[in-house]
């Protein structure tokens, strides 16, 4: 029986090549998009799945209340480690303090590489289940050791043994390679970690690190833990939540609440809003999951529409089969098996499309997804997917086709009823509603990105580079380097800063100033900067002046941004003093010498944070910001600057970043969403148009005789074209009416997450409306004009 | 074999109700060949559809082999149909996508006959209908007469007790028409009951009895043999 069904299905496929092509192509494109989205979603959901103890690993986060707003982040103070080890160690298998991931120079002989890694405590190797290729399992035990990833070891030592060799780190410390571990696979939080240095070594490298031992207020570290088997994250959280609050009266005013964020949440649910977990990338997972489902539905709608539109062709067969004893259930089964066949063929084509476009998709989505050939689960899910799609696409046509009355069909009096095309029309409207909503959505996302890109950043980021200078060899060289850079002709100006201009590395509180309201808990972005900070960045000074070598007192001066002035409630701030409440009696106060325009350092979507730029009297320079000479080409400037750099630091690779590129990276995540949205919107439109094309050709075929008669009676081609096109245009117009308010609402909600946001403006709807109508016209006109220009004698003779 | 009593069937459109069968009663014995005649719209085809269990009567009784089948649901009707009744249509109604062999095989598939047995039965009937040499052709590749022979082959392949023929020669020339009538006679002589709707006096003469209808009612009944 089944063989008979497949046979007839296959012959029908061959016989109606155009419809088969439209059906299979539409479904294949839809399925390919859904498979790719499925692979992407799986990849996202499997983030950090590599770690064997993933269920038990967590990071300690803290929420603090500042001026009634709860801020949450993973930065914790160092004494927390000692408190946990002393009072709560029974809860943990591992307590691992860690630095932030940081690039360092690793040098062996003449080979000098720049790699990212962490400083971590001994439990890390076991907790992260590092696969040791050579050396000791716990390579962090000895203070002067370093663990290297396989690829870092290969870059440094080639095929030679790495073990026991001495690596010079940041041109300062000699560390002995204690072990080499297999590269940590991609798709997890530690995949960039190419070396690990012992924590006990790290904390002795800088004076401030030594001091951090007792500083509950210095939230500069990370703490990872693995909890014991006999407990849960919630239980441990409840035990440790008040540890910091109870330990330090100084920080208790911020009500610090500690909690464990399980490893499974790090990637997808790491955002917090006023102390409550509010999502994160999981929203994109949902978004694209829904888009994938919609695209598949659009493709299924094509199948439904084309099958039911062509039902009259299959009616006779249904009548005959019924008259010779087929039951309705058998017919339903027959039509379902047909849809299964088509869906299966489409699936094979879809797999081909996925293989063809997976690389491009990986680039677009910044992923390294590999096609899971050997994953049995993937194939089982695919089979289920094929069956579900076959049901989704085939159920309605099967029920509809099998319902025909054999008497009417065989008598030849069968005609589809007046309303039989209504479900098809509804489905076309549904298809275009989705497509138009996607067009509007994509346009709004693009507008929002452009809007934020057009936002004045407050400084001139073009022609500005930053050179990282974090190791000790650079200390005290700032002015020499500035002079030489300028003298080389490659630079106009240079300023040192303690953080890059595209990020805040330090937030401070504990200041007093005249007129500070009682109980005001300030939170200020803190960056120490050198002379010429204003000149180098091209900042606009709105009051007072920038730092100047002419004023010796500027060694205790500070610049505020405009937001800080408002935030602190300062009126006429120039000349006023800000005191550090801890060292009030030791350090001289900071004198406000100038106010600068707000510059966007953090998110371009958020308001600019109140910031203080303190004159760097201790040489805490982490970056040289160099204003390139506009008279010369970028490559010339870079060559000159590199020359100066190499002359002074011959053993250090010259590394630099363009500040405008670093700033541009802030849009990466949204731009990725926008590019993916563009691709999937294009696919949705393509699939919808494919269906429309099929329906248009069906209608043209069905109305051949009518068109012939009308032509004989004198209808012009344009009149006929209008006749055949207007129904479809009406449907798309209805879709526009439904999609517009829907998209307006959804995108309005989406924009809410940005403080600095565009509005959903009328031109977005105009473009979507115009675009949808034009695409529809092009799609249906082909068939309409073909029918309208055909010879009427021919079509009438066929009757 | 068939007893119908006061059979009624109405068709309703939005404004009018048409009476297709108006309290029609007659019997057909096993092995009989009955022709039903009458002008267009007299209810012949409606009657045939009800007798073939393709349609439901609106009133009256329909006994098939001693069982009342008038109220049967679709599943029961199709069960009864596939084991007992074969159809021959004026327009042949072959499935274009299936070959001659596959068209004839279809009823056997629905009655669950095993493939080997099916092949044997289909070949036997194609042989009998002298169409064996066309077994792998598609309907469009055959002449009208050949197509109708395939249709007859399909109708009889299951050895039904009753064949319902709706103007079986209506689309055929006289030579082909006579050949089809000869086939029906042969089947009837072999014991199959035949009820045939026809406009052709010539064809009707092949039957044992002619029932003439007008406006959904029986008007005369002539016994020929």
Compute the average pLDDT of residues A397-401: 88
Q: What angle do CA A207, A209, A214 make, to 5 degrees?
A: 110
Complete DSSP assignment for B35-72: EEE-STTSSHHHHHHHHTTSS--SEEEEEETTEE-TT-
Q: Which residues of A524-551 are buried (b: 16+ CB within 10 A; e: fewer)?
A: bbbbbbbbbbbebbbbbeebbbbbeeee
Q: For residue A415, what pLDDT is reported? A: 61
Q: For residue A530, what pLDDT is reported? A: 94
3-state helix/strand/coil string of A405-456: CHHHHHHCCCCCCCCCCHHHHHHHHHHHHHHHHHHHHHHHHHHHHHHHHCCC
- From chain B, the residues in CB contact with A1 under 8 A are 109-110
Rounded CA separation A167/A177 (Å): 7
Length of chain A counted residue by residue: 799
Compute the average pLDDT of residues A427-437: 91
Rounded CA separation A595/A600 (Å): 15
Residue in chain A nearest B156 by alpha carbon: A324
Tokens of A684: 């949705």
Span A333-384, pLDDT tens digits: 988 988 899 999 999 999 999 999 999 999 988 888 889 988 899 999 999 9
Rounded CA separation A607/A610 (Å): 9
Rounded CA separation A468/A489 (Å): 21
Neighbouring C-alpha atoms within 13 Å toward the C-beta of A536: 26
Among A302, A375, A309, A340, residue whose Cα is nearest residue A30:
A302
Evaluate whether A739 touches A432 at the Cβ level (below 8 Å). Answer: yes
> How far B67 CA lies from chain A's nearest CA (Å)?
19
- The answer on pLDDT for B173 being more than 70 is yes
Picking from A4, A327, A406, the nearest residue to B54 by CB comes out as A406
Compute the average pLDDT of residues A259-283: 90
Q: Residue A706: which pLDDT band, with cuts at 50, 70 and 90?
A: confident
Among A713, A711, A731, residue whose Cα is nearest residue A772:
A731
- From chain B, the residues in CB contact with A328 under 8 A are 74-75, 78
Q: Does B107 touch chain A (CB under 8 A)?
A: yes
Compute the average pLDDT of residues A773-797: 79
Among left, alpha and beta (phi > 0; psi -120 to 50; other), residue A793 is alpha
- The answer on pLDDT for A705 being more than 80 is no
Compute the average pLDDT of residues B2-14: 87
The reported pTM is 0.80
Span A110-132, pLDDT tens digits: 888 889 999 999 999 999 999 99
Q: Residue A189: which pLDDT band, with cuts at 50, 70 and 90?
A: very high
Q: Does B94 touch chain A (CB under 8 A)?
A: yes
Complete DSSP assignment for A228-286: -TTS-HHHHHHHHTTHHHHH-HHHHTT--EEEEEEHHHHTTS-EEETTEEEESTHHHHH
- The answer on pLDDT for A644 being more than 60 is yes
Among left, alpha and beta (phi > 0; psi -120 to 50; other), residue A421 is alpha
Residue A130 main-chain phi, psi, to 5 deg: -65, 135
Tokens of A517: 């309201």
Residue in chain B nearest A323 by alpha carbon: B54
Contact B82 A316 (CB under 8 A): no
Going by their DSSP bridges, the two strands A590-596 and A577-580 should be labelled as: antiparallel
Evaluate whether B78 touches A331 at the Cβ level (below 8 Å). Answer: no
Which residues, 6+ apart, have CB-to-CB distance to A88 below 8 Å? A236, A239, A240, A243
Span A22-75, pLDDT tens digits: 889 999 999 999 999 999 999 999 999 888 899 999 999 999 988 788 989 899
- The answer on pLDDT for A799 being more than 50 is no
Rounded CA separation A665/A500 (Å): 13
Residue in chain A nearest B52 by alpha carbon: A323
- Helix H or strand E encompassing A586: none
Which residues, 6+ apart, have CB-to-CB distance to A495 below 8 Å? A482, A529, A530, A531, A532, A533, A535, A536, A537, A624, A625
Contact B87 A406 (CB under 8 A): no
Tokens of A580: 């550090």
Rounded CA separation B94/A539 (Å): 86
> How far B112 CA lies from chain A's nearest CA (Å)?
9
Contact B78 A411 (CB under 8 A): no
Q: Does B102 touch chain A (CB under 8 A)?
A: yes
- The answer on pLDDT for B225 being more than 70 is no
Span A286-296, pLDDT tens digits: 988 999 999 99
Evaluate whether A509 touches A218 at the Cβ level (below 8 Å). Answer: no
Could you list the beta-strand ranges (E) of A432-587.
464-468, 491-497, 507-508, 511-513, 524-529, 541-544, 557-561, 577-580
Contact B93 A7 (CB under 8 A): no
- From chain A, the residues in CB contact with B41 under 8 A are none
Rounded CA separation A280/A669 (Å): 11
- The answer on pLDDT for A542 being more than 80 is yes
Length of chain B counted residue by residue: 225
Instruction: Output the CA torsion B15→B18→B23→B29 (10° steps).
Output: -140
Q: Which of A325, A404, A410, A417 to mutate to test the interface with B (most CBs of B within 10 A)?
A: A325
Q: Residue A587: which pLDDT band, with cuts at 50, 70 and 90?
A: confident
Compute the average pLDDT of residues A231-248: 94
Q: Does B56 touch chain A (CB under 8 A)?
A: no
Could you list the beta-strand ranges (E) of A473-533.
491-497, 507-508, 511-513, 524-529
Q: Which residues of A565-575 are buried (b: 16+ CB within 10 A; e: fewer)?
A: bebbebeebee
Rounded CA separation A743/A768 (Å): 11
Rounded CA separation B35/B166 (Å): 10
- Helix H or strand E encompassing A419: none
Picking from A15, A324, A411, the nearest residue to B97 by CB comes out as A15
- From chain A, the residues in CB contact with B49 under 8 A are 407
- Helix H or strand E encompassing A176: strand A173-181
- From chain B, the residues in CB contact with A414 under 8 A are none
Q: Among the listed ranges A247-251, A329-333, A506-510, A711-715, which one has the minimum average pLDDT value?
A: A711-715
- The answer on pLDDT for A403 being more than 60 is yes
> How far A319 CA lies from chain B's nearest CA (Å)?
9
- From chain B, the residues in CB contact with A11 under 8 A are 97-98
Mean predicted lDDT score pLDDT of chain B = 89
- From chain A, the residues in CB contact with B78 under 8 A are 322, 325-328
Q: Residue A278: which pLDDT band, with cuts at 50, 70 and 90?
A: confident
Rounded CA separation A701/A520 (Å): 77
Q: Which residue bears the tokens 């900042």? A: A539
Contact A325 B82 (CB under 8 A): yes
Contact A8 B98 (CB under 8 A): yes
- From chain A, the residues in CB contact with B55 under 8 A are 407
Contact A11 B106 (CB under 8 A): no
Picking from B49, B55, B87, the nearest residue to A324 by CB comes out as B87
Which residues, 6+ apart, have CB-to-CB distance to A492 below 8 Å? A486, A627, A628, A629, A630
Q: For residue A710, what pLDDT is reported? A: 78
- From chain A, the residues in CB contact with B75 under 8 A are 327-328
Tokens of A541: 């000074």
Q: What angle do CA A378, A381, A382 make, to 5 degrees?
A: 85
Complete DSSP assignment for A672-705: HHHHHHHHHHHHHHHHHHHHHHHHHHHHHHHTHH
Rounded CA separation A644/A468 (Å): 15
Span B188-202, pLDDT tens digits: 999 999 999 999 999
Rounded CA separation A136/A127 (Å): 15
Rounded CA separation A707/A713 (Å): 10
DSSP letter assigned to residue A667: G
DSSP letter assigned to residue A221: B
Picking from B78, B97, B109, the nearest residue to A12 by CB comes out as B97
Q: In terms of C-beta density within 10 A (0-12 exposed, 13-18 middle, 19 or more buried), how is residue A672 classed? A: middle
């Amino acid at each position: 029986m089944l063989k008979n069904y497949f046979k007839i299905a296959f012959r029908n496929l061959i016989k109606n090549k155009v419809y088969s092509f439209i059906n299979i192509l539409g479904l294949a494109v839809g399925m390919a998009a859904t498979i790719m989205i499925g692979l992407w979603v799986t990849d996202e959901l499997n983030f950090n799945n590599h770690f064997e103890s993933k269920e038990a690993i967590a990071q300690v986060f803290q929420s603090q209340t500042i001026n009634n707003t709860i801020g949450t982040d993973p930065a914790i103070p160092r004494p927390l480690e000692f408190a946990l080890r002393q009072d709560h160690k029974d809860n943990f298998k591992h307590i691992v303090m860690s630095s932030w991931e940081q690039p360092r120079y690793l040098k062996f002989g003449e080979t000098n590489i720049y790699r990212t890694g962490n400083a971590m405590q001994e439990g890390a190797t076991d907790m992260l289940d590092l696969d040791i290729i050579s050396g000791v399992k716990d390579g962090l035990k000895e203070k002067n050791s370093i663990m290297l990833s396989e690829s870092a070891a290969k870059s440094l030592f080639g095929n030679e043994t790495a073990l026991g060799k001495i690596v010079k780190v940041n041109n300062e410390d000699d560390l002995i390679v204690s072990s080499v571990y297999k590269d940590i696979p991609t798709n997890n939080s530690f995949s960039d970690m190419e070396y690990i240095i012992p924590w006990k070594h790290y904390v002795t490298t800088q004076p401030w690190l030594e001091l951090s031992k007792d500083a509950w207020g210095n939230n500069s570290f990370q703490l990872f833990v693995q909890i014991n088997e006999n407990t849960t994250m919630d239980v441990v959280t409840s035990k440790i939540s008040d540890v910091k609050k109870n330990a330090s009266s100084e920080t208790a005013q911020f009500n610090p609440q500690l909690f464990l964020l399980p490893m499974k949440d790090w990637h997808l649910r790491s955002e917090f809003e006023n102390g409550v977990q509010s999502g994160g990338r999981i929203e994109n997972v949902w978004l694209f999951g829904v888009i994938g489902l919609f695209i598949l539905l659009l493709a299924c709608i094509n199948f439904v529409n084309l099958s039911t539109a062509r039902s009259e062709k299959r009616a006779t067969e249904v009548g005959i089969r019924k008259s010779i004893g087929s039951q309705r259930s058998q017919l339903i089964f027959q039509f379902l098996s047909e849809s299964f066949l088509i869906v299966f063929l489409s699936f094979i084509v879809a797999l081909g499309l996925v293989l063809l476009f997976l690389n491009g998709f990986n680039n677009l989505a910044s992923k390294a997804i590999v096609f899971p050939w050997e994953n049995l689960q993937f194939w089982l899910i695919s089979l289920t997917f094929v069956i579900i799609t076959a049901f989704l696409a085939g159920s309605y046509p099967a029920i509809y086709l099998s319902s025909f009355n054999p008497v009417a069909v065989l008598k030849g009096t069968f005609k589809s009823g007046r309303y039989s095309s209504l479900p098809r029309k509804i489905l076309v409207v549904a298809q275009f509603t989705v497509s138009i909503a996607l067009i509007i959505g994509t346009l709004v996302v693009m507008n929002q990105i452009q809007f934020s890109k057009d936002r004045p950043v407050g400084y001139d980021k073009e022609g500005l580079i930053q050179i990282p200078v974090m190791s000790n060899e650079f200390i005290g060289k700032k002015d020499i380097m500035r002079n030489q850079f300028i003298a080389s002709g490659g630079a106009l100006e240079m300023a040192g800063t303690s953080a890059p201009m595209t990020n805040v590395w330090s937030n401070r509180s504990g200041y007093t100033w005249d007129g500070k309201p009682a109980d005001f808990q300030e939170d200020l972005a803190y960056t120490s900067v050198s002379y010429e900070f204003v000149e180098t960045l091209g900042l606009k000074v709105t009051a007072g002046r920038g730092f100047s070598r002419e004023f010796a007192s500027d060694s205790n001066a500070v610049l505020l941004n405009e937001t800080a002035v408002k935030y602190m409630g300062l009126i006429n701030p120039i000349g006023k003093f800000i005191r550090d409440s801890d060292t009030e009696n030791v350090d001289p106060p900071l004198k406000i010498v100038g106010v600068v325009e707000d510059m966007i350092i953090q998110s371009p979507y958020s308001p600019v944070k109140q910031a203080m730029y303190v004159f760097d009297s201790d040489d805490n320079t982490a970056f040289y910001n160099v204003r390139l000479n506009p008279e010369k080409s970028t490559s010339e400037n870079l060559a000159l600057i590199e020359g100066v750099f190499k002359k002074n630091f011959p053993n250090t690779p010259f590394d630099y970043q363009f500040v405008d590129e670093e700033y541009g990276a802030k849009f990466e995540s949204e731009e990725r969403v926008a590019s993916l949205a563009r691709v999937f919107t294009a696919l949705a439109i393509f699939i919808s148009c494919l269906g429309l094309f099929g329906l248009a050709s069906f209608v043209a075929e069905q109305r051949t005789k009518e068109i012939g008669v009308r032509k004989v009676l004198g209808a012009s081609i344009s009149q006929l074209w209008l006749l055949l096109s207007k129904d479809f245009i009406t449907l798309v117009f209805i879709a526009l009416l439904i999609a517009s308010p829907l998209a307006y609402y959804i995108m309005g909600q989406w924009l809410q997450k940005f403080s600095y946001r565009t509005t959903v403006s009328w031109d977005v709807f105009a473009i979507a409306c115009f675009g949808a109508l034009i695409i529809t016209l092009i799609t249906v006109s082909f068939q309409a004009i073909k029918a309208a220009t055909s010879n009427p004698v021919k079509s009438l003779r066929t009757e | 074999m068939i007893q119908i009593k006061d059979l009624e069937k109405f068709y309703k459109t939005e404004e009018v109700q048409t009476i297709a069968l108006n309290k029609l009663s007659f019997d057909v014995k096993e092995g009989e060949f009955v022709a039903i005649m009458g002008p267009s719209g007299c209810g012949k085809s409606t009657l045939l559809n009800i007798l073939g269990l393709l349609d439901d009567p609106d009133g009256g009784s329909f006994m098939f082999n001693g069982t009342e089948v008038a109220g049967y649901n679709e599943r029961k009707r199709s069960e009864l149909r596939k084991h007992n009744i074969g159809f021959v249509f004026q327009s042949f109604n072959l499935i274009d996508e299936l070959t001659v062999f596959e068209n004839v095989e279809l009823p056997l598939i629905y009655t669950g006959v095993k493939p080997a047995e099916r092949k044997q039965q289909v070949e036997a009937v194609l042989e009998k209908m002298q169409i064996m040499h066309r077994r792998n052709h598609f309907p469009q590749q055959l002449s009208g007469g050949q197509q109708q022979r395939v249709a007859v082959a399909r109708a009889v392949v299951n050895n039904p007790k009753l064949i319902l023929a709706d103007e079986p020669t209506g689309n055929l020339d006289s030579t082909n028409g006579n050949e089809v009538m000869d086939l029906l006679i042969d089947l009837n002589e072999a014991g199959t009951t035949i009820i045939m709707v026809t406009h052709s006096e010539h064809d009707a003469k092949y039957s044992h009895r002619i029932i003439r209808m007008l406006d959904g009612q029986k008007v005369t009944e002539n016994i020929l043999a």
